[in-house]
Amino acid sequence: MKKIGVYVHIPFCMAKCYYCDFNSYAGKGDVGKDTYLTFLEKESIIYNIKYLKMEAISIYIGGGTPTCLTDKQLMKLFNILSSNLKFANDIEITIEGNPGTLDMKKLAISKGFGCNRLSLGVQSFSARDLQILGRIHTVQDVYNTFKMARGLGFNNINLDLMYGLPGQDIQGWKENLKKIVELQPEHISLYQLNIEKNTAFFKLYKRGLLEEFEQDVAFLMYDEAINYLSANGYRHYEISNFAKKGRESYHNKIYWRNEEYLGLGAGAASYLDSNRYTNMSSLDDYQCALDGGELPIKKTEVINKKLSMAETMFLGLRLLEGVKKSDFIKKHGISVEIQYKNAIGKLKEQGLLCETPTHISLSKKGLYVANVVFCEFL
């Protein structure tokens, strides 16, 4: 039986944040969401038949904003998943939530289904920042939601925080770090704001009304986060992720270890049987394909041996522990030192990689230019 991580995409939000280029749609009514779930069920059934009930070792329900579904829709979603997947005994089930869309009932429904990890898009503890980003929630919503979740027994909570925001300075960032640590979540994910095409921010940028954030200051903010969070009991285990002991994201580690996963929903990607499949992102296309009994796959990329080895390197190097040499041999049948002799030698000389008898990992200097390092393995 295939053991996989499962990502489920819910492409709906209450409103579009000004910086967001994710595949999400604001303002869809309940009918649109009901219809989407019907098609998500069709897709799940096709995969269920194809793989004879795969065993899910993790499920990540993301978006979009999964918690903008109604109570009934959430229950329907959970029913689709439990009917078409076999859950491993120690499965990690994460649901993403926007603090502006969660209440006691939705949290209780999620907990009752078996969600044992909650990921909240906090982004900032400053009202000014939230307004600039176009977030629908307030700082108080964050505190209220966190308290409710704890009260219901969620003991594994991730909070997302963004830096490099317009007008944000180091002092403002330090305040955010202080406040997030005060809440004591088990996991913290950091994101640097980038101005992406097809966003409201990009339009402002094009008109000269928004400037790109100074990269030097962003580095200082990142550095501050590493030092502050590490000093406060959070292990820096991935380039942008920090966790208390034993609370690393099990689901994301599947990606970073280049293991198989299934993506369900519009725009979701899967990595199965040495192929990467990307679903159609438009709701109409996604639904139309499934209506005709087809999987809604827009693009299939065959991951040959060379590419698979490269992916093992640049995904694995995201983890601070790096790539385990014995895992590389087991997966690819060749030693990493032989396969990437030149690249490893060059990057070590530049002080960007470290090597121990068991692992290859990014150096502290390499962390800041990780993309440059990754390119050497392509």
Q: Does 366 bind ligand SF4 (CB under 6 A)?
A: no
Distance of CA 244 to the CA centre of its chain: 18
Q: Considering the complex, state which of residue 15 and residue 297 has its C-beta at the smaller distance from ligand SF4.
A: 15
Q: Does 20 bind ligand SF4 (CB under 6 A)?
A: yes
Q: How far is the CB of 248 from ligand SF4 (least distance, A)?
A: 22
Q: How buried is 185 (Cβ within 10 angstroms: 0-12 exposed, 13-18 middle, 19+ buried)?
A: buried
DSSP designation for 136? S
Query: Contact 353/360 with Cβ under 8 angstroms?
Result: yes
Q: Angle 251-329-350 (CA atoms, 0-180°, nearest 5)? A: 85
Pick the binder of ligand SF4 from 66, 97, 99, 121 (CB under 6 A): 121
Query: Contact 182/229 with Cβ under 8 angstroms?
Result: no
Q: Does 159 bind ligand SF4 (CB under 6 A)?
A: no
Q: Does 199 bind ligand SF4 (CB under 6 A)?
A: no
- The residue range among 63-71, 197-205, 217-225, 334-342 that interacts with ligand SF4, by the rule CB under 6 A, is 63-71
What sign for the dihedral angle of Cα 289, 311, 369, 242?
positive
Pick the binder of ligand SF4 from 4, 6, 10, 17 (CB under 6 A): 17
Q: Which amino acid is at 326?
A: S
Q: How far is the CB of 250 from ligand SF4 (least distance, A)?
A: 22
Token pair 């098609």 is found at 39
Q: How far is the CB of 211 from ligand SF4 (least distance, A)?
A: 21
DSSP designation for 231? H
* Helix (H) or strand (E) run with residue 133 in it: helix 127-133
Residue 130 in tokens: 């939230």
Residues 83-112 interacting with ligand SF4 (rule: CB under 6 A): 98
Pick the binder of ligand SF4 from 33, 36, 64, 85 (CB under 6 A): 64
Token pair 């603090």 is found at 99
Q: Considering the complex, state which of residue 89 and residue 198 has its C-beta at the smaller distance from ligand SF4.
A: 198
- The residue range among 13-21, 30-38, 156-164, 325-333 that interacts with ligand SF4, by the rule CB under 6 A, is 13-21
Q: Residues in the site for ligand SF4, rule: CB under 6 A?
A: 13, 16-17, 20, 22, 24, 63-65, 98, 121
